[in-house]
Structure 1
């Protein structure tokens, strides 16, 4: 199934912007990726704690 042309154009524009941001300011890009990774890791840890507390109550 092929993507509509508008979706394909927006995807390419997003990829080009991300590459531009990485090449012009790699330290800021690394900080953003690190922050996003911290948010994801904390979310997964909190979900794990939630299910652990559900199991402990049984």
Structure 2
């Protein structure tokens, strides 16, 4: 098994374990990532709006 494949499987197992045994923490992580993506989208949208307008 290659290193990449091993690390991919390990990451998948960790995510399943994290969600199964720490659902509150997993929800906070997902919520934080969603907030970050939303903030990035807002920032890029504001930039292009000001660039064009």
Structure possessing the higher relative contact order (Cα contacts under 8 Å, 6 or more residues apart): 2
Unaligned runs of 5+ in 1: none
Structure 2 distance, partners of 1:20, 1:12, is 12
Query: Which aligned runs of 4 or more in structure 1 are off by greater than 6 angstroms?
Result: none
Q: Which has the greater radius of gyration?
A: 1
Matched, 1:25 2:13: no
Unaligned runs of 5+ in 2: none
Structure 1 match to 2:35: 38
TM-score (norm 2): 0.93
